[in-house]
Amino acid sequence: MLDLTVITDADIAVPEEPVILRHFIDGIRVDSADGAVSERVSPSHGVVVSRAAIGGEVETEAAINAARAAFDDGRWSRISGKERAAVLLKVADLIEEQTERFAILETLESGKPISQSRGEVGGAADLWRYAASLARTVHGDSHNTLGEDMVAMVLKEPIGVVSIITPWNFPFWILSQKLPFALAAGCTCVVKPSEMTPGTTALLAELLVEAGLPTGVCNIVLGYGLPVGTLMSSHANVDMISFTGSTAVGKKISETAARTLKKVALELGGKNPQVIFPDADLEDAADAVAFGVHFNVGQCCNSSSRILVHEDIAEEFTARVVELSRKVAYGNPLNPKTQVGAIVTPEHQAKIDGYVQEAVAEGADVRLGGAPLDVKGVGPQFYQPTVVTRLTSSMRIVQEEVFGPVLSVLTFKTLDEAIALANDSVYGLSAGVWSNDVHTCLAFARRAEAGTVWTNTWMDGYPEVALGGMKQSGQGREIGRYGFEEFLEVKSVVMRVGRTRAPWVNGP
Ligand code: NAD
């Protein structure tokens, strides 16, 4: 009998009626012209929890045109940073007021634990506040050493209409890593959430209206990648795409956007290593490894789904991680004590299991888990916390995003070998190093091919600190000042002052 911690009961009831979700186009909440809808069945509870309009070309075209008109007439792009900040701050207050309502829907649609949804929705308010602070700081530079009668300014201006496309794994959080920053810059937006988790994005429309965001500045179209996402990536009236999702779809978006040379910012997948040296605080490191792989059931771009452990401590450390993983509270997402919830779809659950079974067939050793988990009284769409050893770096389970609670353990002997193994990936999103020697940490941090390196910690993030990936993990940066700058365009203004310009045709 597998000795795991599983929570079956909850103190929040599943609502009897699904939430109805509509598009938000030019300030109005509308159904699709053809009446198309999709229903979201809760991954954890197996019942329909939302019924969303499904957009087509008509809705997407209308949303893009509304955003274009709103940008071009300056109702948002040409007002002061102070005025834009006031609206964003108001949205932040409203998010805080509505946290519980948003969090319950987020949990029901995604399967993530309610405590985590509360943290993500409540925490998103801080992203809106931070973005508001940036709205008042936009500035370029000036040049006054170009000669007595010349002066130049380099201005920063909003880039224009931005398409924002988000994934299902952190719906409201990722939306808030993009939308308030684009709005703070003065851009107007068309947003498409994942078809699986449209709820909190659609609910946000109410808050934007209440906060006084002018009509047409933010438009939300619900629906699938085809046709909504593709039209948002190809349309001539869109200036930039900010996308978070899989590397495969990111590549398609890049190709589509290239036809009109739109700016593209991509936050994509990861296969993120944590490297553990023998001199590290092993208790701390084991806890961070358990957190890194089980958080959001491993359905996380920053999941530390592979660890590289020095061979002298590999056996002891793996045993610690296995013991800690048994204690992680899996189960009913509507119980505040639950730490890990359900898998997003049955197909994804099968995909996770496929990686594990393939590794076993190739000679891997499953030290914990390795099978679906049926949570009594809730549902069968869960996966056991899983630890796999006896692997080589070329195996698919080590190279690809499993996107489940599955930890791959590899070993190394030297710092150089650890760095080579860490960088042996097409991805470069994040990496971690555990050691009490600052030289080891710094050497690793400088040579790791990753957009973020954590030393003696894992997955701490702040609105101030840029996020993004190297290699096939992405392009551009999100949040922080660097993320904000992505939504700004540079314009140089060169001015002559005083005397007549030296003639060109008639000579000096
Ligand atoms: P996905 O790529 O399947 O879908 C993401 C979004 O793109 C959805 O809204 C989807 O409807 C839309 N889409 C699908 N096809 C499209 C197309 N052809 N054109 C335009 N839009 C299209 O990703 P997912 O399964 O929702 O999310 C999981 C992936 O996201 C993982 O790979 C994960 O690593 C990645 N992710 C990355 C980050 C990061 O910050 N780097 C954060 C979260 C998730």
Contact 275, 307 (CB under 8 A): yes
Q: How many angstroms is it from 243 CA to the middle of ligand 1?
A: 7
Cβ < 6 A, ligand 1 pocket? 165-170, 174, 192, 194-195, 224-226, 229-230, 233, 244-246, 249, 252-253, 267-270, 301, 401, 429, 469, 474
Ligand 1 pocket: which of 246, 254, 304 to mutate (most atoms within 8 A of CB) = 246
- Report the DSSP pairing between strands 306-310 and 240-244: unpaired
Mutate to test the pocket of ligand 1, among 38, 54, 165 (most ligand atoms within 8 A of CB): 165
- Angle of helix 282-294 relative to helix 314-327, nearest 10 degrees? 50
Task: Give the closest residue to 235 by CA, choosing from 209, 212, 253, 249.
Answer: 253
Residue that is written with structure tokens 């702040």 in the block: 462
| Residue nearest atom 32 in ligand 1 by C-alpha distance | 246
Query: Count of CB atoms within 10 A of residue 57's CB?
Result: 12
Catalytically active residues, by annotation: 267, 301
Q: Report yes or no on whether pTM surpasses 0.95.
A: yes
Between the CA of 459 and the centroid of ligand 1 the distance, in Å, is 20
**Strand stretches in 166-262, DSSP E:** 188-192, 218-220, 240-244
Angle between helices 171-185 and 81-97 (to 10 degrees): 160
pLDDT tens by residue, the chain, 508 residues = 579 999 999 989 999 999 999 999 999 999 999 999 999 999 999 999 999 999 999 999 999 999 999 999 999 999 999 999 999 999 999 999 999 999 999 999 999 999 999 999 999 999 999 999 999 999 999 999 999 899 999 999 999 999 999 999 999 999 999 999 999 999 999 999 999 999 999 999 999 999 999 999 999 999 999 999 999 999 999 999 999 999 999 999 999 999 999 999 999 999 999 999 999 999 999 999 999 999 999 999 999 999 999 999 999 999 999 999 999 999 999 999 999 999 999 999 999 999 999 999 999 999 999 999 999 999 999 999 999 999 999 999 999 999 999 999 999 999 999 999 999 999 999 999 999 999 999 999 999 999 999 999 999 999 999 999 999 999 999 999 999 999 999 999 999 988 678 888 988 7
Q: Tell me whether residue 3 is exposed, middle or buried, using C-beta atoms within 10 angstroms of its C-beta: 0 to 12, 13 to 18, 19 or more.
A: exposed
For atom 31 of ligand 1, the residue with the nearest CA is 246
Distance from Cα 155 to the centre of ligand 1, integer Å:
33
> How do residues 404-421 score in pLDDT, each as one tens digit?
999 999 999 999 999 999
478 CA distance to ligand 1 centroid (A)?
Answer: 15
